[in-house]
Amino acid sequence: MKNKQPSRTPTFPGLGLCGWSRAERDFMRGDPFLETGLASRIGPVFAPSFDLFETDEKYTLLGDLPGLGITDLDIELTPNSLTITGEREGDDLDPGASCHALERTFGSFVRRFDFPEGVDGSRSLTRMRDGVLTVEVPKRLEGLPCC
């Protein structure tokens, strides 16, 4: 009997996709532009990846936003959702340069995350470090108004 190797992907109860491999998460995320052929006409689109975690006290959102600062983002928090809008601009390349690979993506993006219950936006915390955005949104305390 072989020893079972521990999973390298952490699993968190209640967060279904966290225990899946990256390929499975990418497949489930899907890309509607690929099915329509639109992606090949407009090129790669900048779509930053985010993780959303929940505890009894708060929601924590982590987003990979390389090359952006906190001032490059518009973050809007409502009682039931969080919307993050921004744009990563492309580089000015030497007109005489030959391009051998273009894998990085640029452009505008909008990401919205809905919360199943009210949150307390007045106590939220937002920070950016090394290209990773962290937004902590406390849950609303029972018996207090949401706004």
**Model confidence, pTM:** 0.66
**Token pair recorded at residue 117:** 């219950």
Looking at domain 48-90+104-141, does it have CATH number 2.60.40.790?
Answer: yes
Residue partners of 105: CB distance under 8 A and separation at least 6: 44, 45, 46, 47, 88
Helix locations, the chain, DSSP H? 22-29, 32-36, 38-42
Average pLDDT for the chain: 76
Please report the pLDDT score of residue 38 as a whole number. Answer: 45
User: To the nearest 5 percent, what fractions of the chain are helix, strand and coil?
Assistant: 20, 30, 50
Which residue numbers in the chain have pLDDT < 70? 1-44, 143-147
Q: For the chain, give every domain's residue range.
A: 12-43, 48-90+104-141
Please report the pLDDT score of residue 43 as a whole number. Answer: 58
Residue 89 and residue 108 in contact, taking contact as beta carbons nearer than 8 Å: no
Please report the pLDDT score of residue 105 as a whole number. Answer: 84
pLDDT, tens only, 44-79: 678 899 999 999 999 999 999 999 999 999 999 988
In angstroms, the first-to-last Cα distance of the chain is 58
